[in-house]
Each structure stands twice: as C-alpha cells, then as structure tokens.
Amino acid sequence: MHILPQFIFAVLLAVAAYFIFRSVSRIRFNILLGKSYEPSSSIPERWMNMTLTALGQRKMFKKPLPAILHIFVYLGFLIVNVEMLEIGLDGLLGTHRLFAAPLGSFYTFIINVFEFFAVAVIIACVIFLIRRNIVHVKRFIGKEMTQWPRLDANLILIFEICLMIAFLTMNAGDKLLQGQNDHYIATGNFMFSSLLASLLSGLSAPTLFVLERSAWWFHIVGVMFFANYVFYNSKHLHIFFAFLNTYYARLTPQGKVDNMPSVTKEVQLMLGMTPTDNTPADPSTPMRFGAKDVQDLSWKNLMDAYSCTECGRCTEQCPANLTGKLLSPRKIMMDTRDRLEEVGNNIRLHGKDHQDDKSLFNYISEEEILACTTCNACVEACPVQISPVEIIVQMRRYKVMEESKAPGSWNAMFSNIENNFAPWKFSPSDRFNWSDKL
C-alpha cells in the first residue's frame, strides 16, 4: 500500500506528459503548414533580443504599473515552479522534502524566496482580476473579446491564485506536523506560511495531515492540469512562445516591407537584368501573389498567432482603430489562430487535399485589411514583437494582384506610378514647373 501513492503519481505524470506531447505536436504541425522563413539577423543578435524582450520584458515597461505586476506573476510562475523538481521526485520516490537535509539552512532561504513570490503572484493576480472585471480597462474590451477570451483570462488568474494558496497551505501544514510525525523533518521557519500556520494551529494532527497532503496533491496535479490547459486552448501559450517568437523576430527597420521574390524576378527580367533569385519554380506548386489562406503565410506569421497574449496594446495604439475603423490588430492575430486551428484539424481528419471552401477572408474582412496604414504602431506596441502588418499586407496583395479588387483611388495611384513614376497625375517633365515662379 505504501507504493500506491507513488504509482498514482507516476500514472498522472505520464498521462499529463502524453497530452502535453499531443498538444505540442498539434501546434507544431499547424505552424509548419506555413511557408519558409529565414531571419535576417545574426544568431547573437537574436539571442540578445530574446534575452531583453522575452526574459527582460523591456517592452512591457512602457506601462510601468502593469509591467511590475506582470513581472511578479512571471517570476513567480518560473521561480515557484522550480520546487516542482523536488515535489516530482518526492512523488516518484515516496520521499518528503528530498532537498531539505542536503541543503540545510539554504533550503529554508530558498523556500522563503518561493513564498515571497507566491504571495506576490496572489496580490498581482487579484489586481489583474479587478482591472479586468471591475475597472474594465478599455484595451481588454473589443468586439473580438467575446465570452471565451474573457473567461480564459479570468480562469488562468484564478487558477494561479489557487495554486499559490495550495503551496502556502502545504508549507503551513508541514510546519505544524514537524515533530508530530517522523515523516515531516525540520525545515526552519518560513515567513509567510508561518502566519497561515498560526491560523491552523488548533487543528488535530490527523486533520493537518489530510490538509497538507490535499494541498500537496492539489498543487502538483494543478500544475499538470495548468500545463495541459495552456497548451490545449489558451492565450497563455505566450508563456512559452514569447521566447521563440522574439528569437525569430524580424530585427530590420519596421517600415521596410519585404518584396515578393516572384515579382522581383519578373521585374528584373523585364528590365533586362539578371535575376537575383535563379531558383527554378516548383511546377507542382501554383504560384500565388499574397495570402488567401494560412498556408500562404510564413511559419513565423503562424507562430505570431500562437504567441498573441490578447493584451490589446496593439489595438490600443492603432490609428485606424482609434478613428473608429473596423480594424483591430489583435483580432487579426486571433482570427489567424482560429483559422489555422480549423485548417490543421481538417487536414488531420480528412487529409492534406481536403478543401472546406473557406479561407482567411471568411474571418478577416476586406474592410479591415484596407483600413491599415502600415504604420507599424501595433508592432512597436507588442510585448513579444508580433507583426499583424505582415499578415495584412499579404492579404492585401492577394486581393489586389490575384482578384484585382483594389479600391478605385488605389487603382488611380497605381496607374500614376506606372505612367508618371509618382502617385500624382503629373508628367515627369512637368514636375518642377512650380520653380518657374521663383
């Protein structure tokens, strides 16, 4: 019977790992549906960018108060869960506080640090819940923020509070049982759980044992459930994807728009130049200008969709959105992710040739993509360097070059550029007539 808890723990750990592996495989499969992408920056530049932006969260500090609260939640999530190593080994080996004896007084210091961050996480999450549900911060509201996105954010915050309370309760029960049970060895005083222990001191030893074990199991099983929930269907994937996304982020000037290699090659041939890209076209793959569906975007664009935190900073800064237009950069990323999940599920169920007669334009309207000024304010505001502009530009290219559905004013501008080498309807020879009056 003594090995039964170890057996149950091992089974739960294996099941959790299996479902996480399935979710990671699904997401990886979906992302790789995109076209190739090669970062233009060097590897040292990418490591530096990831360290400063994802680990250091430098862009978060444009809003100091949310940044400080977020850094506590972020560090608390990373630091407190370091203890999962000890809990995991205890669960598998049937031990209790495996590292306490070898580390001695340093163990007490470490757990005190963990408890400080656990309390900080609780306070920060409570403030975040108030901001979302009582203060109603404007950027958390929008037509794309339907019932599920709002519920998802609240569930994660509540669950993190519960996990931290379980951690503190486990330590408090452990402290009171020391000296009453040989299984509970002396660990020294823990600052915050000792305060909670004073409230529980009137309980009997059997009740404390049940309380401590219940909190222990809730904490470890809760973390397993949390990880599966995040990978299965939550915006909190950014906990993991922020690092990948910033590592592969485009570090060239944001205003630079990438040319289409196929168009560049045709122009170079028309001008009698040697094409810079002499790679022969793949006859099995029809050439398409721009993006009609998610498979026409790069895998980096698709990873952007999974990295989106739905924080609304992009939409808050978008000049088109601020002037009442339909465009919301956050919605662009959420719609891309929803369509990608749909396409991926269809391929897994029906095969790669399955067509559902839908495209990304069933999610994102023509009015939205035409409203974008390509100012890149959304990219600058994003804490993890997502680029909704790249998706919008690719979709506009498809509408203009494949379907010839540019607005009339755009067509006039295109004609002027083609004939007069400028957006205005003036002959190049008349361009300096204004100087005649000087």
Mean pLDDT across the stretch 16-25?
94
Identify whether residues 156 and 206 lie together within a single domain: yes
Flag whether 345 is in a domain: yes
Flag whether 174 is in a domain: yes
More confident: 258 or 150: 150
- Kindly state the percentage of the chain with pLDDT values over 90: 44
Flag whether 248 is in a domain: no
Contacts of the segment 109-112: beta carbons below 8 A, 24+ positions apart: 111/83, 111/171, 111/187, 111/190, 112/190, 112/191
Flag whether 436 is in a domain: no
Identify whether residues 266 and 232 lie together within a single domain: no
d(CA 193, CA 175): 8
What is the chain's mean pLDDT, rounded? 88
pLDDT given for residue 337 in this prediction: 95
Point out the domain boundary residue: 203, 238, 273.
238
Identify whether residues 311 and 419 lie together within a single domain: yes
For the cut 90, the answer to whether the pLDDT of residue 146 exceeds it is no
Furthest CA-CA distance within the chain: 102
Residue 115 CA, chain-centre distance (Å), reads 27
Identify whether residues 65 and 194 lie together within a single domain: yes
Identify whether residues 37 and 171 lie together within a single domain: yes
d(CA 78, CA 401): 47
Flag whether 438 is in a domain: no
Identify whether residues 368 and 409 lie together within a single domain: yes
Domain containing residue 145: 4-238
367-419, pLDDT tens digit by residue? Answer: 999 999 999 999 999 999 999 999 999 999 999 988 888 888 888 888 888 88
Q: Which residue in this structure is represented by tokens 């979710």?
A: 23
CATH number for the domain spanning 267: value is 1.10.1060
Identify whether residues 234 and 270 lie together within a single domain: no
d(CA 50, CA 40): 15
295-316, pLDDT tens digit by residue? Answer: 999 999 999 999 999 999 999 9
Q: In the chain, how many domains are there?
A: 2
What band does 195 get if pLDDT is binned at 50, 70 and 90? confident
214-242, pLDDT tens digit by residue? Answer: 999 999 999 899 989 988 878 888 888 99
For the cut 60, the answer to whether the pLDDT of residue 283 exceeds it is no
Cα distances from 207 to residues 1, 59, 201, 214, in angstroms, run 21, 48, 11, 10
Flag whether 350 is in a domain: yes
| Two tokens, residue 12 | 């739960």
Is pTM beyond 0.85? Reply is yes
Helical segments of 248-399, H only: 261-270, 299-307, 313-317, 319-322, 329-350, 366-371, 377-381, 388-397
171-182, pLDDT tens digit by residue? Answer: 998 888 887 777
Point out the domain boundary residue: 188, 223, 238.
238
Identify whether residues 211 and 108 lie together within a single domain: yes
Strand locations in 204-293, DSSP E? none
82-114, pLDDT tens digit by residue? Answer: 788 888 888 888 888 888 888 888 988 998 988
Flag whether 256 is in a domain: no
Angle CA 266–268–273, to nearest 5:
140
Flag whether 50 is in a domain: yes
| Two tokens, residue 233 | 């269907």
Identify whether residues 348 and 286 lie together within a single domain: yes
2: left (phi over 0), alpha (psi -120 to 50) or beta: alpha
pLDDT given for residue 285 in this prediction: 58
Identify whether residues 151 and 213 lie together within a single domain: yes
